[in-house]
Amino acid sequence: MTTEELKQVMTDLLPSSTFDETGEFLNVIIPSEELLPVMKTLRNREDLFFDYLFCLTCVDWKDHLMMVYFLNSRTHNHTIVIKAKITDTINPQIESLFSIWPTAELNEDEVFDLFGVKFLNHPNLRRLFLEEDWVGYPLRKNYEDEHMIEL
């Protein structure tokens, strides 16, 4: 499916989604509440069939957090980037995608550890890299640490 077709499909699927085509792939920005149903459709619909979640991360834009999901279909070989905007930076929450792609488990643990995004219905949400009692989320832009050195 070409980018234009994907764009059409996404508009039909979720009229509130916005697009950003600066990068290599089609970027679709959706509200975080809509994530799970949209992703389920993307995974299960025969003509979309995004079975491969190859990158999952988060970007801190200071006033909001942006979850970024890179999806690819091994059968149709098209790629799409879904971005879910989380406006609540104090207590960010989003649905876990573990039920759709098992690879999300560790990736979401990592995002929870470094950005503090809580994943609902995650089987085993824990701090993957840092200690359980670590204060703060290091990849947030407002993270402060006594050991940090200004370069």
Partner 1 sequence: MLFEPDHYNEEGEFVVNMGPQHPSTHGVLRLKVWLDGETIKKVEPHLGYIHRSIEKMTESLSYRQFIYVTSRMDYLSAHINNQVCALVVEKALQVEVPARAQAIRVILAELTRISSHLLWFASIGLDLGGVTPFFYAFREREAINSLMDENCGARLTQNFMVPGGIMKDVLPNFQQRVKEVLKQFKDNYHEYDEILTGNVIFQNRLKGVGILTKEDAIAFGCTGPTARASGLNCDIRKLYPYDGYEKLQFDEITSTGGDCWARYEVRMAEMKQSVKIIEQLIDNIPEGEIVGNTKKVIKLPKGEFYQRVETARGELGVYIVSDGGTTPYRCKYRSPNFANLSAIPHIARGHKIGDLISIMATIDLIIPDIDR
Stretch that binds partner 1, among 2-10, 11-19, 88-96, 104-112 (CB under 8 A): 104-112
One of 1, 17, 25, 34 touching partner 1 (CB under 8 A): 25
Residue 24 binds partner 1 (CB under 8 A): yes
Whole-number Å distance between alpha carbons of 31 and 52: 22
Stretch that binds partner 1, among 3-11, 24-32, 33-41, 86-94 (CB under 8 A): 24-32
Identify which of residues 90 and 151 has a Cβ nearer to partner 1 in the complex. 151
What size, in residues, is the chain? 151
Stretch that binds partner 1, among 4-12, 17-25, 33-41, 87-95 (CB under 8 A): 17-25
Kindly give the residue spans of alpha helices, DSSP state H, lying in 14-118: 35-44, 104-115
Return the closest-CA partner of residue 57 out of 67, 47, 49, 65.
Answer: 67
Q: Which of residues 44-103 bind partner 1 (CB under 8 A)?
A: 51-55, 57, 59-60, 68, 70, 74, 101-103
Please identify which residue in the block is written with the tokens 């990068």.
Answer: 23
Residue 124 binds partner 1 (CB under 8 A): yes
Question: For 24, which DSSP code?
Answer: S
Return the closest-CA partner of residue 139 out of 71, 89, 84.
Answer: 89
Whole-number Å distance between alpha carbons of 119 and 69: 14
Residues making contact with partner 1 (CB under 8 A): 22-25, 27, 51-55, 57, 59-60, 68, 70, 74, 101-103, 105-107, 110, 114, 124, 127-131, 138-139, 151
